Amino acid sequence: MDGQQLDERQLIARVCAGDEGAGRTLYDAHVDRVYWLAYRMSGRHELAQDFTQDTFIRAFSKLQDYRGEAAFGSWLHTIAMSVILNGLRKSKRFEQREAVLDEAAMVPSLTRHAEPDLKERLAQAIDALPEGCRTVFLLHDVEGYTHEEIGVALEITAGTSKAQLSRARAKLRESLADFAGEWVHD
Amino acid sequence: MTDTPQWNEEPMDARLRDLAKEYNRPRGAVPRDAMWQAIAPSLRAASTADVTDLVPRIERKRRHIAPYAWSAALAAGLVFGITLEREVLAPRSAARVAQAPVITRTPRVAVDPRDTMSSHPTPGATSGATMGASTSVSPAASLVAPSTRIASSSSRSAERSSTMAGSRGDSAPSTATTADAQQLYRLAARQTLVQAEALLTAYRADDASQRDQESMQQAGRWARDVLTSTRLLLDSPAAKDPQFRALFTDLELVLAQIVQLSGAPLQAGERELIERAMRDRDLLPRLRSAIPAGATAE
Protein backbone atom coordinates (compact mmCIF):
# COMPACT_ATOMS: atom_id res chain seq x y z
CA MET A 1 0.00 0.00 0.00
CA ASP A 2 2.75 2.41 1.06
CA GLY A 3 4.87 1.29 -1.87
CA GLN A 4 1.97 1.85 -4.20
CA GLN A 5 1.38 5.31 -2.75
CA LEU A 6 5.08 6.13 -3.14
CA ASP A 7 4.96 5.02 -6.75
CA GLU A 8 1.91 7.08 -7.29
CA ARG A 9 3.56 10.15 -5.82
CA GLN A 10 6.52 9.66 -8.11
CA LEU A 11 4.18 9.27 -11.02
CA ILE A 12 2.34 12.43 -10.06
CA ALA A 13 5.61 14.34 -9.79
CA ARG A 14 6.60 13.12 -13.23
CA VAL A 15 3.23 14.07 -14.68
CA CYS A 16 3.63 17.54 -13.18
CA ALA A 17 7.04 17.72 -14.83
CA GLY A 18 5.37 17.05 -18.19
CA ASP A 19 5.96 13.29 -18.57
CA GLU A 20 3.06 12.07 -20.70
CA GLY A 21 3.99 8.41 -20.22
CA ALA A 22 3.60 8.80 -16.48
CA GLY A 23 0.23 10.39 -17.11
CA ARG A 24 -0.83 7.39 -19.12
CA THR A 25 0.31 5.00 -16.38
CA LEU A 26 -1.63 6.94 -13.79
CA TYR A 27 -4.65 6.97 -16.09
CA ASP A 28 -4.47 3.21 -16.72
CA ALA A 29 -4.37 2.55 -12.99
CA HIS A 30 -7.61 4.39 -12.30
CA VAL A 31 -9.61 4.69 -15.48
CA ASP A 32 -11.62 1.48 -15.17
CA ARG A 33 -13.05 2.32 -11.80
CA VAL A 34 -13.91 5.86 -12.85
CA TYR A 35 -15.51 4.61 -16.06
CA TRP A 36 -17.55 1.92 -14.30
CA LEU A 37 -18.76 4.41 -11.77
CA ALA A 38 -19.71 6.83 -14.53
CA TYR A 39 -21.51 4.11 -16.43
CA ARG A 40 -23.24 2.84 -13.32
CA MET A 41 -24.53 6.31 -12.56
CA SER A 42 -25.51 7.27 -16.10
CA GLY A 43 -26.35 3.95 -17.78
CA ARG A 44 -25.01 5.24 -21.09
CA HIS A 45 -21.64 4.57 -22.67
CA GLU A 46 -21.29 7.92 -24.37
CA LEU A 47 -22.06 9.76 -21.12
CA ALA A 48 -19.70 7.49 -19.17
CA GLN A 49 -16.98 8.22 -21.71
CA ASP A 50 -17.56 11.98 -21.51
CA PHE A 51 -17.59 11.96 -17.71
CA THR A 52 -14.41 9.88 -17.54
CA GLN A 53 -12.58 12.16 -19.95
CA ASP A 54 -13.74 15.26 -18.09
CA THR A 55 -12.64 13.73 -14.80
CA PHE A 56 -9.10 13.07 -16.00
CA ILE A 57 -8.80 16.36 -17.83
CA ARG A 58 -9.84 18.18 -14.69
CA ALA A 59 -7.62 16.03 -12.48
CA PHE A 60 -4.53 16.60 -14.64
CA SER A 61 -5.16 20.32 -14.76
CA LYS A 62 -5.43 20.41 -10.96
CA LEU A 63 -2.62 17.99 -10.27
CA GLN A 64 -0.34 20.79 -9.07
CA ASP A 65 -2.86 21.41 -6.28
CA TYR A 66 -2.90 17.77 -5.13
CA ARG A 67 -1.21 17.78 -1.72
CA GLY A 68 -1.20 14.04 -1.12
CA GLU A 69 -3.28 14.34 2.07
CA ALA A 70 -5.76 11.76 0.75
CA ALA A 71 -5.01 8.80 -1.51
CA PHE A 72 -4.87 9.80 -5.14
CA GLY A 73 -7.76 7.43 -5.91
CA SER A 74 -10.00 9.14 -3.35
CA TRP A 75 -9.03 12.56 -4.65
CA LEU A 76 -9.75 11.44 -8.20
CA HIS A 77 -13.11 9.94 -7.23
CA THR A 78 -14.12 13.17 -5.55
CA ILE A 79 -13.54 14.90 -8.85
CA ALA A 80 -15.29 12.10 -10.71
CA MET A 81 -18.36 12.32 -8.48
CA SER A 82 -18.58 16.04 -8.96
CA VAL A 83 -18.23 15.69 -12.75
CA ILE A 84 -20.74 12.85 -12.94
CA LEU A 85 -23.40 14.45 -10.75
CA ASN A 86 -23.14 17.81 -12.50
CA GLY A 87 -23.18 16.09 -15.88
CA LEU A 88 -26.21 14.03 -14.95
CA ARG A 89 -28.09 17.06 -13.77
CA LYS A 90 -27.41 18.80 -17.06
CA SER A 91 -28.36 15.80 -19.18
CA LYS A 92 -31.46 15.20 -17.06
CA ARG A 93 -32.62 18.76 -17.65
CA PHE A 94 -32.02 18.27 -21.36
CA GLU A 95 -33.82 14.94 -21.41
CA GLN A 96 -36.79 16.35 -19.53
CA ARG A 97 -37.14 19.06 -22.15
CA GLU A 98 -36.83 16.47 -24.91
CA ALA A 99 -39.36 14.21 -23.19
CA VAL A 100 -41.93 16.98 -23.05
CA LEU A 101 -41.51 17.52 -26.78
CA ASP A 102 -41.63 13.79 -27.50
CA GLU A 103 -44.74 13.28 -25.40
CA ALA A 104 -46.51 15.95 -27.35
CA ALA A 105 -45.47 14.59 -30.73
CA MET A 106 -45.20 10.85 -30.34
CA VAL A 107 -47.59 7.96 -30.07
CA PRO A 108 -46.38 5.84 -27.16
CA SER A 109 -44.19 3.19 -28.73
CA LEU A 110 -42.17 2.05 -25.74
CA THR A 111 -44.42 -0.59 -24.30
CA ARG A 112 -43.07 -2.19 -21.18
CA HIS A 113 -44.01 -5.63 -20.02
CA ALA A 114 -47.22 -5.62 -18.04
CA GLU A 115 -45.43 -7.40 -15.23
CA PRO A 116 -41.75 -6.68 -15.53
CA ASP A 117 -39.44 -9.08 -13.84
CA LEU A 118 -37.67 -8.29 -10.61
CA LYS A 119 -34.51 -6.93 -12.24
CA GLU A 120 -36.40 -4.50 -14.35
CA ARG A 121 -38.57 -3.42 -11.43
CA LEU A 122 -35.48 -2.93 -9.34
CA ALA A 123 -33.85 -0.84 -12.06
CA GLN A 124 -36.97 1.31 -12.25
CA ALA A 125 -37.07 1.64 -8.49
CA ILE A 126 -33.41 2.71 -8.37
CA ASP A 127 -34.03 5.26 -11.12
CA ALA A 128 -36.95 6.63 -9.12
CA LEU A 129 -34.91 7.17 -5.95
CA PRO A 130 -34.12 10.76 -4.93
CA GLU A 131 -30.73 11.79 -6.28
CA GLY A 132 -28.90 11.71 -2.94
CA CYS A 133 -30.30 8.31 -1.96
CA ARG A 134 -29.60 6.83 -5.36
CA THR A 135 -26.02 8.06 -5.39
CA VAL A 136 -25.25 6.73 -1.93
CA PHE A 137 -26.97 3.42 -2.62
CA LEU A 138 -24.99 2.87 -5.82
CA LEU A 139 -21.72 3.95 -4.27
CA HIS A 140 -22.10 1.88 -1.13
CA ASP A 141 -24.09 -1.20 -2.01
CA VAL A 142 -23.02 -1.58 -5.61
CA GLU A 143 -19.57 -0.02 -5.92
CA GLY A 144 -18.44 -0.87 -2.41
CA TYR A 145 -17.36 2.56 -1.18
CA THR A 146 -17.28 3.14 2.56
CA HIS A 147 -19.43 5.85 4.14
CA GLU A 148 -16.28 7.82 4.89
CA GLU A 149 -15.22 7.74 1.24
CA ILE A 150 -18.72 8.69 0.13
CA GLY A 151 -18.72 11.51 2.67
CA VAL A 152 -15.50 12.93 1.21
CA ALA A 153 -16.64 12.52 -2.39
CA LEU A 154 -20.08 14.06 -1.88
CA GLU A 155 -18.98 16.53 0.78
CA ILE A 156 -21.43 15.17 3.33
CA THR A 157 -20.83 13.52 6.69
CA ALA A 158 -20.57 9.74 7.04
CA GLY A 159 -23.73 9.90 9.17
CA THR A 160 -25.66 11.59 6.40
CA SER A 161 -24.43 8.96 3.99
CA LYS A 162 -25.70 6.21 6.33
CA ALA A 163 -29.06 7.90 6.66
CA GLN A 164 -29.37 8.27 2.89
CA LEU A 165 -28.52 4.59 2.41
CA SER A 166 -31.07 3.51 4.96
CA ARG A 167 -33.70 5.66 3.25
CA ALA A 168 -32.77 4.26 -0.15
CA ARG A 169 -33.06 0.66 1.02
CA ALA A 170 -36.40 1.33 2.68
CA LYS A 171 -37.75 2.92 -0.49
CA LEU A 172 -36.54 0.00 -2.58
CA ARG A 173 -38.12 -2.52 -0.23
CA GLU A 174 -41.33 -0.58 -0.42
CA SER A 175 -41.25 -0.45 -4.21
CA LEU A 176 -40.55 -4.17 -4.47
CA ALA A 177 -42.94 -5.33 -1.79
CA ASP A 178 -44.77 -7.49 -4.40
CA PHE A 179 -41.69 -9.69 -4.65
CA ALA A 180 -41.16 -10.03 -0.92
CA GLY A 181 -42.50 -13.56 -0.85
CA GLU A 182 -39.93 -14.69 -3.40
CA TRP A 183 -36.87 -13.82 -1.35
CA VAL A 184 -38.36 -15.05 1.86
CA HIS A 185 -38.59 -18.47 0.25
CA ASP A 186 -35.13 -18.23 -1.36
CA MET B 1 -39.04 2.56 9.09
CA THR B 2 -41.65 1.41 6.58
CA ASP B 3 -45.09 -0.13 6.84
CA THR B 4 -44.22 -3.22 4.78
CA PRO B 5 -41.65 -5.30 6.66
CA GLN B 6 -43.60 -8.22 8.02
CA TRP B 7 -40.53 -10.18 6.91
CA ASN B 8 -36.89 -9.99 7.79
CA GLU B 9 -35.20 -7.06 6.09
CA GLU B 10 -31.75 -8.63 6.02
CA PRO B 11 -32.27 -11.27 3.31
CA MET B 12 -34.24 -8.79 1.27
CA ASP B 13 -31.47 -6.18 1.47
CA ALA B 14 -28.85 -8.79 0.62
CA ARG B 15 -30.87 -9.90 -2.40
CA LEU B 16 -31.38 -6.31 -3.46
CA ARG B 17 -27.63 -5.70 -3.24
CA ASP B 18 -26.93 -8.73 -5.43
CA LEU B 19 -29.53 -7.78 -7.98
CA ALA B 20 -28.43 -4.15 -7.95
CA LYS B 21 -24.99 -5.21 -9.15
CA GLU B 22 -26.69 -5.88 -12.46
CA TYR B 23 -28.03 -2.34 -12.56
CA ASN B 24 -26.21 -0.42 -15.32
CA ARG B 25 -23.51 -3.04 -15.25
CA PRO B 26 -20.77 -2.08 -17.67
CA ARG B 27 -20.33 -4.67 -20.38
CA GLY B 28 -17.37 -4.95 -22.67
CA ALA B 29 -13.95 -3.40 -22.33
CA VAL B 30 -13.38 0.12 -21.14
CA PRO B 31 -12.48 2.22 -24.21
CA ARG B 32 -9.20 3.34 -22.68
CA ASP B 33 -7.37 4.36 -25.85
CA ALA B 34 -10.29 6.27 -27.31
CA MET B 35 -10.66 8.28 -24.12
CA TRP B 36 -6.92 8.81 -23.76
CA GLN B 37 -6.82 10.41 -27.19
CA ALA B 38 -9.09 13.13 -25.87
CA ILE B 39 -7.24 13.45 -22.56
CA ALA B 40 -3.61 13.47 -23.76
CA PRO B 41 -3.72 16.86 -25.54
CA SER B 42 -5.05 18.54 -22.41
CA LEU B 43 -2.32 16.88 -20.34
CA ARG B 44 0.29 18.27 -22.75
CA ALA B 45 -1.37 21.67 -22.64
CA ALA B 46 -1.55 21.59 -18.83
CA SER B 47 2.15 20.85 -18.46
CA THR B 48 3.22 23.55 -20.92
CA ALA B 49 0.64 26.00 -19.64
CA ASP B 50 2.32 26.14 -16.26
CA VAL B 51 5.28 27.96 -17.70
CA THR B 52 4.42 29.41 -21.08
CA ASP B 53 0.83 30.35 -20.46
CA LEU B 54 1.54 32.20 -17.30
CA VAL B 55 1.66 35.61 -18.95
CA PRO B 56 -1.39 35.08 -21.21
CA ARG B 57 -3.31 33.75 -18.21
CA ILE B 58 -2.57 36.92 -16.27
CA GLU B 59 -3.47 39.03 -19.31
CA ARG B 60 -6.69 37.09 -19.73
CA LYS B 61 -7.59 37.84 -16.16
CA ARG B 62 -6.70 41.48 -16.58
CA ARG B 63 -8.75 41.71 -19.78
CA HIS B 64 -11.67 40.19 -17.92
CA ILE B 65 -11.50 42.79 -15.18
CA ALA B 66 -10.57 45.73 -17.42
CA PRO B 67 -14.03 46.61 -18.76
CA TYR B 68 -15.51 46.85 -15.27
CA ALA B 69 -12.58 48.76 -13.85
CA TRP B 70 -12.59 51.05 -16.84
CA SER B 71 -16.31 51.64 -16.70
CA ALA B 72 -16.21 52.31 -12.98
CA ALA B 73 -13.38 54.77 -13.48
CA LEU B 74 -15.26 56.48 -16.29
CA ALA B 75 -18.44 56.72 -14.24
CA ALA B 76 -16.51 58.09 -11.27
CA GLY B 77 -14.75 60.57 -13.55
CA LEU B 78 -18.03 61.73 -15.02
CA VAL B 79 -19.66 62.15 -11.63
CA PHE B 80 -16.64 64.06 -10.44
CA GLY B 81 -16.58 66.20 -13.58
CA ILE B 82 -20.27 67.08 -13.43
CA THR B 83 -20.14 67.76 -9.71
CA LEU B 84 -17.08 69.93 -10.18
CA GLU B 85 -18.77 71.78 -12.97
CA ARG B 86 -21.96 72.36 -10.98
CA GLU B 87 -20.45 73.12 -7.61
CA VAL B 88 -17.22 74.90 -8.41
CA LEU B 89 -17.35 76.33 -11.89
CA ALA B 90 -20.97 77.47 -11.71
CA PRO B 91 -20.62 79.70 -8.61
CA ARG B 92 -17.39 81.02 -10.03
CA SER B 93 -19.05 81.92 -13.30
CA ALA B 94 -21.91 83.42 -11.34
CA ALA B 95 -19.47 85.56 -9.47
CA ARG B 96 -17.97 86.61 -12.75
CA VAL B 97 -21.40 87.48 -14.09
CA ALA B 98 -22.06 89.46 -10.97
CA GLN B 99 -18.84 91.37 -11.37
CA ALA B 100 -19.26 91.75 -15.09
CA PRO B 101 -21.39 94.92 -15.03
CA VAL B 102 -18.75 96.76 -13.07
CA ILE B 103 -16.02 95.82 -15.44
CA THR B 104 -17.64 95.50 -18.82
CA ARG B 105 -21.27 96.43 -19.22
CA THR B 106 -21.39 99.23 -16.69
CA PRO B 107 -19.22 101.64 -18.70
CA ARG B 108 -21.73 101.48 -21.55
CA VAL B 109 -24.76 101.23 -19.36
CA ALA B 110 -24.06 103.37 -16.37
CA VAL B 111 -21.72 106.01 -17.79
CA ASP B 112 -24.10 106.99 -20.52
CA PRO B 113 -27.29 108.26 -18.87
CA ARG B 114 -29.33 107.77 -22.04
CA ASP B 115 -28.43 104.14 -22.07
CA THR B 116 -29.35 103.81 -18.42
CA MET B 117 -32.75 105.24 -19.06
CA SER B 118 -33.49 103.37 -22.22
CA SER B 119 -32.10 100.02 -21.39
CA HIS B 120 -33.91 99.57 -18.11
CA PRO B 121 -37.46 98.80 -19.29
CA THR B 122 -36.88 97.36 -22.74
CA PRO B 123 -37.86 93.69 -23.18
CA GLY B 124 -34.82 93.00 -25.24
CA ALA B 125 -32.54 94.01 -22.43
CA THR B 126 -34.13 91.61 -19.97
CA SER B 127 -33.29 88.51 -21.95
CA GLY B 128 -30.22 86.42 -21.44
CA ALA B 129 -27.31 87.03 -19.19
CA THR B 130 -27.15 90.75 -19.65
CA MET B 131 -30.34 91.18 -17.65
CA GLY B 132 -28.57 92.12 -14.47
CA ALA B 133 -26.18 94.45 -16.18
CA SER B 134 -28.68 97.23 -16.62
CA THR B 135 -29.46 97.53 -12.92
CA SER B 136 -27.16 98.83 -10.26
CA VAL B 137 -24.12 96.80 -9.37
CA SER B 138 -24.86 95.39 -5.96
CA PRO B 139 -28.41 94.16 -6.61
CA ALA B 140 -27.19 92.65 -9.83
CA ALA B 141 -24.83 90.46 -7.93
CA SER B 142 -27.61 89.09 -5.77
CA LEU B 143 -29.99 88.67 -8.67
CA VAL B 144 -27.74 87.07 -11.21
CA ALA B 145 -25.93 84.64 -9.02
CA PRO B 146 -28.95 82.49 -8.02
CA SER B 147 -30.38 82.47 -11.52
CA THR B 148 -27.08 81.30 -12.86
CA ARG B 149 -26.83 78.59 -10.27
CA ILE B 150 -30.16 77.02 -11.20
CA ALA B 151 -29.70 77.39 -14.93
CA SER B 152 -28.78 74.37 -16.95
CA SER B 153 -25.18 73.74 -17.85
CA SER B 154 -25.79 74.67 -21.45
CA SER B 155 -27.40 77.99 -20.66
CA ARG B 156 -24.57 78.66 -18.21
CA SER B 157 -22.08 78.21 -21.00
CA ALA B 158 -24.07 80.55 -23.20
CA GLU B 159 -24.35 83.02 -20.35
CA ARG B 160 -20.66 82.90 -19.70
CA SER B 161 -19.73 83.49 -23.28
CA SER B 162 -22.24 86.28 -23.86
CA THR B 163 -21.53 88.05 -20.60
CA MET B 164 -17.83 87.85 -21.01
CA ALA B 165 -17.87 88.76 -24.66
CA GLY B 166 -17.13 92.40 -24.04
CA SER B 167 -14.41 91.83 -21.49
CA ARG B 168 -11.00 91.45 -22.97
CA GLY B 169 -9.38 90.68 -19.68
CA ASP B 170 -11.68 87.79 -18.77
CA SER B 171 -12.55 86.36 -22.15
CA ALA B 172 -9.42 84.28 -22.59
CA PRO B 173 -9.67 82.22 -19.34
CA SER B 174 -13.43 81.75 -19.63
CA THR B 175 -13.18 80.55 -23.20
CA ALA B 176 -10.42 78.23 -22.13
CA THR B 177 -12.55 76.85 -19.27
CA THR B 178 -15.52 76.29 -21.55
CA ALA B 179 -13.33 74.68 -24.16
CA ASP B 180 -11.75 72.47 -21.50
CA ALA B 181 -15.16 71.39 -20.20
CA GLN B 182 -16.40 70.67 -23.70
CA GLN B 183 -13.25 68.76 -24.45
CA LEU B 184 -13.78 66.72 -21.26
CA TYR B 185 -17.35 65.89 -22.17
CA ARG B 186 -16.39 65.03 -25.73
CA LEU B 187 -13.73 62.70 -24.41
CA ALA B 188 -16.10 61.08 -21.92
CA ALA B 189 -18.79 60.71 -24.58
CA ARG B 190 -16.35 59.12 -26.98
CA GLN B 191 -15.10 56.68 -24.37
CA THR B 192 -18.63 55.69 -23.40
CA LEU B 193 -19.48 55.10 -27.05
CA VAL B 194 -16.36 52.98 -27.51
CA GLN B 195 -17.34 50.91 -24.46
CA ALA B 196 -20.92 50.59 -25.65
CA GLU B 197 -19.77 49.48 -29.08
CA ALA B 198 -17.44 46.86 -27.54
CA LEU B 199 -20.21 45.61 -25.25
CA LEU B 200 -22.83 45.33 -27.97
CA THR B 201 -20.41 43.73 -30.41
CA ALA B 202 -19.40 41.15 -27.79
CA TYR B 203 -23.04 40.62 -26.92
CA ARG B 204 -24.03 39.93 -30.53
CA ALA B 205 -20.99 37.81 -31.30
CA ASP B 206 -21.56 35.56 -28.29
CA ASP B 207 -23.22 32.29 -29.27
CA ALA B 208 -26.76 32.20 -27.92
CA SER B 209 -26.60 28.49 -27.19
CA GLN B 210 -23.54 28.96 -24.98
CA ARG B 211 -25.02 31.87 -23.10
CA ASP B 212 -25.44 30.81 -19.51
CA GLN B 213 -26.62 32.72 -16.50
CA GLU B 214 -23.14 33.69 -15.38
CA SER B 215 -22.16 35.21 -18.71
CA MET B 216 -25.47 37.07 -18.82
CA GLN B 217 -24.79 38.46 -15.36
CA GLN B 218 -21.34 39.59 -16.47
CA ALA B 219 -22.81 41.28 -19.52
CA GLY B 220 -25.42 42.80 -17.24
CA ARG B 221 -22.80 44.25 -14.89
CA TRP B 222 -20.87 45.67 -17.77
CA ALA B 223 -24.04 47.07 -19.35
CA ARG B 224 -24.99 48.63 -16.00
CA ASP B 225 -21.70 50.52 -15.86
CA VAL B 226 -22.03 51.78 -19.42
CA LEU B 227 -25.68 52.66 -18.73
CA THR B 228 -24.64 54.79 -15.75
CA SER B 229 -22.14 56.67 -17.92
CA THR B 230 -24.74 57.08 -20.67
CA ARG B 231 -27.30 58.54 -18.27
CA LEU B 232 -24.75 60.94 -16.82
CA LEU B 233 -23.85 62.06 -20.31
CA LEU B 234 -27.52 62.52 -21.20
CA ASP B 235 -27.71 64.98 -18.32
CA SER B 236 -24.57 66.81 -19.40
CA PRO B 237 -23.74 69.38 -22.09
CA ALA B 238 -22.47 66.48 -24.20
CA ALA B 239 -26.12 65.73 -25.00
CA LYS B 240 -26.62 69.22 -26.42
CA ASP B 241 -25.77 67.84 -29.81
CA PRO B 242 -29.10 66.41 -31.10
CA GLN B 243 -27.33 63.60 -32.92
CA PHE B 244 -25.49 62.51 -29.77
CA ARG B 245 -28.64 62.90 -27.71
CA ALA B 246 -30.62 60.59 -29.98
CA LEU B 247 -27.81 58.08 -29.95
CA PHE B 248 -27.51 58.15 -26.16
CA THR B 249 -31.27 57.77 -25.76
CA ASP B 250 -31.39 54.70 -28.01
CA LEU B 251 -28.31 53.28 -26.34
CA GLU B 252 -29.90 53.80 -22.92
CA LEU B 253 -32.94 51.76 -23.97
CA VAL B 254 -30.93 48.79 -25.25
CA LEU B 255 -28.58 48.81 -22.26
CA ALA B 256 -31.53 48.95 -19.89
CA GLN B 257 -32.97 45.87 -21.61
CA ILE B 258 -29.71 43.97 -21.25
CA VAL B 259 -29.44 44.95 -17.59
CA GLN B 260 -33.05 44.01 -16.92
CA LEU B 261 -32.77 40.58 -18.52
CA SER B 262 -29.38 39.71 -17.09
CA GLY B 263 -30.68 38.27 -13.82
CA ALA B 264 -32.26 35.14 -15.30
CA PRO B 265 -31.35 32.64 -18.02
CA LEU B 266 -32.04 34.34 -21.32
CA GLN B 267 -34.91 33.01 -23.42
CA ALA B 268 -34.72 33.12 -27.20
CA GLY B 269 -37.58 35.63 -27.30
CA GLU B 270 -35.85 37.96 -24.88
CA ARG B 271 -32.64 37.87 -26.82
CA GLU B 272 -34.60 38.57 -29.99
CA LEU B 273 -36.17 41.57 -28.28
CA ILE B 274 -32.78 43.07 -27.52
CA GLU B 275 -31.43 42.31 -30.97
CA ARG B 276 -34.47 43.80 -32.64
CA ALA B 277 -34.06 46.97 -30.58
CA MET B 278 -30.46 47.18 -31.75
CA ARG B 279 -31.37 46.41 -35.35
CA ASP B 280 -34.35 48.77 -35.60
CA ARG B 281 -32.29 51.66 -34.33
CA ASP B 282 -29.20 50.86 -36.41
CA LEU B 283 -27.40 51.17 -33.13
CA LEU B 284 -24.09 49.52 -33.93
CA PRO B 285 -23.55 51.29 -37.28
CA ARG B 286 -24.44 54.62 -35.66
CA LEU B 287 -22.13 53.96 -32.76
CA ARG B 288 -19.32 53.04 -35.10
CA SER B 289 -19.77 56.12 -37.22
CA ALA B 290 -19.85 58.32 -34.11
CA ILE B 291 -16.57 56.92 -32.85
CA PRO B 292 -13.53 58.52 -34.43
CA ALA B 293 -11.26 56.09 -36.23
CA GLY B 294 -8.58 54.65 -34.00
CA ALA B 295 -10.41 55.43 -30.74
CA THR B 296 -10.03 52.69 -28.15
CA ALA B 297 -11.29 52.07 -24.68
CA GLU B 298 -7.83 52.60 -23.23
**From the CA of B61, how many Å to the nearest CA of chain A?**
18
- Mean of pLDDT over chain B: 63
Domain ranges of chain A: 1-111, 115-177
CA pair distance B250, A58, nearest whole angstrom: 44
- pLDDT surpassing 60 at residue B197: yes
At residue B147, what are phi and psi to the nearest 5 degrees? -65, -35
- The stretch B13-29 carries a mean pLDDT of 84
According to CATH, the topology of domain A1-111 is Rna Polymerase Sigma Factor; Chain: A (1.10.1740)
CB atoms within 10 A of CB A6: 10
Closest alpha carbon to A81 in A150, A140, A161: A150
Closest alpha carbon to B74 in B243, B233, B183: B233
Interface of A with B in 69-128 (CB under 8 A): 118-119, 122-123, 126
Closest alpha carbon to A34 in A56, A67, A5, A16: A56
- pLDDT surpassing 70 at residue A162: yes
Would an 8 Å CB–CB cutoff place A60 in contact with chain B? yes
The pLDDT tens digits for A106-158 are 444 443 444 457 888 888 899 999 988 999 999 999 988 899 888 888 888 99
More confident residue, B193 or B83: B193
The pLDDT tens digits for A56-111 are 999 998 888 888 878 888 889 889 998 998 888 887 766 655 555 555 554 444 43
- State which amino acid sits at residue B175: T
Closest alpha carbon to A79 in A58, A50, A100: A58
Would an 8 Å CB–CB cutoff place B9 in contact with chain A? yes
- The stretch B225-241 carries a mean pLDDT of 81
| Cβ-based contacts of A24 with chain B (< 8 Å) | 36, 40
- The pLDDT value given to residue B210: 58
| Cβ-based contacts of B11 with chain A (< 8 Å) | 183-184, 186
Q: Which CATH number fits domain A115-177: 3.30.420.10, 1.10.10.10, 3.40.50.300, 2.60.40.3140?
A: 1.10.10.10
Q: What is the pTM of this model?
A: 0.45
Nearest neighbour of A61 by CB, restricted to B3, B13, B46 = B46
Nearest neighbour of A123 by CB, restricted to B7, B15, B23 = B23
- The pLDDT value given to residue A17: 86
